Amino acid sequence: MKRVTKRTYQIFWQHAIRYPVAFFVVIFGVIAGSVVNMIPPLLYRDFFNVLQVTGTPNADVAHQLIQILIKILGVFGLSWVIWRTLLFTNNYFQPRVMRDLSNTCFAYIHKHAPSFFHNNFVGSLVKRVNKFSRSFEGIADLLTFNFIRIFVDITVVMTVLSMNNIVFGVALGVWVAIFLIMNYFWSMYKLKYDVMRSGQESKVVAVLADTITNHENVKFLNGYAREKTYFGVVTERLRYLNTLTWNLGQIFETVQVLLMFLLEFVMMYLAVGFWQKGQLTIGDFVLIQAYVITTFDKLWDVGRYIKNYYEHIADAEEMTSIFETPHEIQDIPTATPLVVSKGEIVFDNVSFYYNKTRSIMKKFCLTISSGQRIALVGHSGAGKSTIVKLLLRTHDVTRGNLTIDGQNISDVTLESLWQHVSYVPQDPILFHRSIIDNIRYGRPEATDEEVHDAARLAHAHQFIESFPEKYDTFVGERGVKLSGGERQRVAIARAILKNAPILILDEATSSLDSESEKLIQDALHNLMKGKTVIVIAHRLSTIMSMDRILVIEDGEIVEDGTHKQLLRKSKGFYRRLWDLQAGTFIGE
């Protein structure tokens, strides 16, 4: 935990110091402004002392009083200039640091491998990024406008009072020490319950989000009563922790009030004694009272400041823990851009272990020639998707070599690898943006006409034109406003537009009806021309024309040949699978 906290401070400091002038203007502005704010009580002391000494009103006394008032006005004016300057500077400083922190979070999170996202809720990651920048704002505000001001104000008050009479300075110093020590230990005691409450709040949000995401399951699997009961349990726990933490806060607030009453009495009691001895003036009473009230004002919420500070740190550390998680897949320092001239892919004795213990593939060998179109078939879990994941480097091979045109993909940059591969997944996910933006994502510099041509080849143009906003239609989160088949055709259009030399189709027509599938088969064949193609398929009618069909079982190739060759193996896996599906595509 200490390491994570230290890392949080380092990240905040590294981003804050990018704006050194603004940073130091804010810090020194707070110090200067706090010192200047302590001057008026001194001048008011002189003001009342003049009244006490003269007794009878006259022009000279009035002149002296007006001079003091002008000085007070000047001090207020100076304070106004200092605070306006630092606050406008802070308005420049903090939003820029928060922006930079959000950008850093974005960049780091997106460099994680897909397995990281499989193990973390999307909502949780979004919340962590937002909390991180907001935590900086909260911590910066607490440090500059609360803790530094408290330190400066109390130091000035104790110094001035001690210069008048050491007893007052010592009395106030002892009281402040007792007050702060009690605040700290009580706040730390209460903090564990605040953390529990914060965790329960997150759990309530998580349960709510999970049930809303699964609203159809809740309805159609008759889970409403169960989910309502479960949600009631987690909200009741939150209610209990809210009540507990609020009561703890009220208990200490009661103690604080008693301590403040005690200080007020002691300081005034001492002042009366010194006044009787002629060692204190009426102006000194005003000064002492003003400084005591200032002390109360600054320290009243110090317990809340401490609690908020640790809460902000805890919130920030949720994101810092991600920064402390190394990227599973990353470029090596000497990585070079991939150059694809032919598109030959070679798996040379490749072994892969999931989580370093579960063996998925052992000494797997496969050569895919330039421009060759292969299909992968087999039972679920046989290893078909693993082949694709290793090629896309969403996982790294455990042993062996995987090369493209003789270049080990572990030695090339990830960006250049992905640049040369078009991937159409079984269930495409789209951005909540316009259709034209989603298609153009495959090649950002493409013209509108090129996007339209790609959509026509994917047989998506017709349904897109049927929308009122046509290509400017927003597709909703993950593309939910489109049907599964429409999403797939948009994804195929995106791949057509990208036109990469290596093409991977993972059940790319699985969500299409028979008519739509026939419409885009020609488009897919055109898309495959001149490319090295890997197709994962369960519907064998879609791969009959492949150059090679590989049957994968337990991470090994058990059958390899063309459609016709594999059908000749009467007891082969492919033949059995074909016989099971044959009735589905009679007449094709």
Burial 392-431 (b: 16+ CB within 10 A, else e): bbbbebbebebbbbebebbebbbebbeebbbbbebebebe
| Beta-strand runs (E) in 389-531 | 399-404, 407-408, 421-424, 502-506
Please give the structure tokens belonging to residue 264: 């007020």
> Which residue do the tokens 């270049």 mark?
407
- Helices 148-164 and 282-299 meet at what angle, rounded to 10? 160
User: Phi and psi dihedrals of 377, rounded to 5?
Assistant: -130, 160
Q: Which of 326, 308, 300, 379 is nearest to 553 (CA)?
A: 379
Question: Whole-model pTM above 0.85?
Answer: no
Domains of the chain: 2-323 (1.20.1560.10), 345-420+501-512+532-588 (3.40.50.300), 427-499 (3.40.50.300)
> Are residues 482 and 430 in contact, defined by beta-carbon separation less than 8 angstroms?
yes
pLDDT at 56: 65
Q: Which of 157, 485, 184, 112 is nearest to 329 (CA)?
A: 112
pLDDT at 585: 44
- Whole-number Å distance between alpha carbons of 561 and 567: 9
- Whole-number Å distance between alpha carbons of 540 and 531: 21
| Residues forming a β-bridge with 205 | none
- Whole-number Å distance between alpha carbons of 568 and 542: 19
- Helices 166-213 and 122-141 meet at what angle, rounded to 10? 160
pLDDT at 57: 67
Strands of 502-506's sheet in order across: 421-424, 502-506, 532-536, 373-377, 548-553, 556-561
Dihedral sign computed on CA atoms, order 535, 540, 541, 543: positive
Q: What is the DSSP letter of 336?
A: B
> Which residue do the tokens 């797939």 mark?
488
Max CA pair span of the chain: 125
Q: Which of 178, 168, 155 is nearest to 35 (CA)?
A: 155
Cα–Cα distances in angstroms (integers) from residue 575 to residues 208, 285, 428, 435, 580, in the given order: 48, 103, 30, 41, 9
pLDDT at 519: 67
Q: Please report, in tens digits, the pLDDT of each residue of the chain (588 residues total).
A: 567 788 888 899 999 999 999 999 999 999 998 889 888 888 877 787 777 766 566 777 778 888 888 998 998 999 899 999 999 999 999 999 999 999 988 888 888 877 777 677 777 788 888 888 888 998 999 899 888 888 888 888 888 888 878 888 888 888 888 888 887 888 778 777 877 887 788 788 888 888 888 888 888 778 888 888 888 999 999 899 889 888 888 887 788 788 888 877 887 887 787 777 777 777 777 777 787 887 777 777 777 787 788 778 888 888 888 888 887 888 888 989 989 888 899 998 888 887 666 777 888 888 899 889 999 988 877 788 888 888 888 888 888 889 998 899 888 998 898 889 988 887 788 888 899 999 998 888 989 999 998 888 888 888 898 888 888 888 887 788 888 778 888 888 888 888 889 998 887 666 566 666 676 676 677 677 788 999 988 777 778 888 899 988 888 888 888 888 888 887 888 888 888 776 444 444
